[in-house]
Amino acid sequence: MCIILRMDLGMSTGKLIAQAAHAAVGASELGKKENHKAWRSWRDEGAKKVALEAESLEELEELQRKADDLYIVNLIIQDAGHTEVPAGTVTALGLGPDRSDLLDKVTGSLPLIK
């Protein structure tokens, strides 16, 4: 599973963590329904998660298009707007769970969050 967070929004560390959690839980639940075989394999192998940076909404949307083209389960996260960003702001993208080699076709050039 890959969790891709928008770094251009200036979210605090705590906000980034919360958005990453929304992406991970949401993508896992969706993956369990839509690609159960990949989800079970991911879970049984330790439920690996990788957190990556995106620099803009446009980049996140392009990554989602690539995932859709490869039939990778994905989920866009929109914030409720209670704290740091306006309601409806797209903050993150959850990809997978799926095979690492397939996810790499979408995320291969993205930097890890540090």
- pLDDT of the residue at 96: 96
Please state the rounded mean pLDDT for residues 65-91: 97
Q: What are 27's two structure tokens?
A: 């993508």
DSSP element (H, E) containing 77: strand 74-78
Could you tell me the domains of the chain? Answer: 2-107 (3.40.1490.10)
Q: How confident is the model at residue 49 (pLDDT cuts 50, 70, 90)?
A: very high
As a whole-number percent, the residues of the chain with pLDDT over 90 amount to 98
Q: Where are the beta strands (DSSP E) in the chain?
A: 2-6, 50-54, 74-78, 90-95
- pLDDT of the residue at 57: 98
Q: How confident is the model at residue 56 (pLDDT cuts 50, 70, 90)?
A: very high
Q: Could you tell me if 105 and 112 are in contact, meaning their C-beta atoms sit under 8 angstroms apart? A: no
Give the DSSP letter of residue 70.
T
